[in-house]
Amino acid sequence: MSDQITIYHNPRCGKSRDTLKLLEDRGIAPKVVEYLKEPPSAAELARILSLLGKRPADILRRKEAAESGIDPAKLDDAALIQAMVANPIVIERPIVVKGAKAALGRPPESVLAIL
């Protein structure tokens, strides 16, 4: 696996900006994926979830999901992943991936564990 570090980033999100700055302050120039403009595919999101050790509902932004008409209680994991890909605003951010590891940047310092 590559040691390339990728951040799934929303520049309007303070935690996402803080996590990106934390990486840059350590001399890391991550690949920045603005996931609202370039949503991950279902396969990519499933891979990220596997690396995180989480299920789709674990990284679902509840308020945005409700506003998007997504009810996780009525969807299995595969359907929820499809809904998240179709409505990327509901995906919690930021997510940092390095090789076979991933971390959710909430708080931003939590990504240090995978570096």
**41 noted as active-site residue:** no
Six-digit token pair at 89? 């605003």
Residue with the two structure tokens 């991933």: 102
What single letter denotes the amino acid at residue 89? I
Of the residues 6, 13, 46, 115, only one is catalytic, namely 13
Residue with the two structure tokens 């990220």: 48
The whole-angstrom separation of Cα 30 and Cα 6 is: 5
The whole-angstrom separation of Cα 99 and Cα 7 is: 12
Positions marked active-site: 13
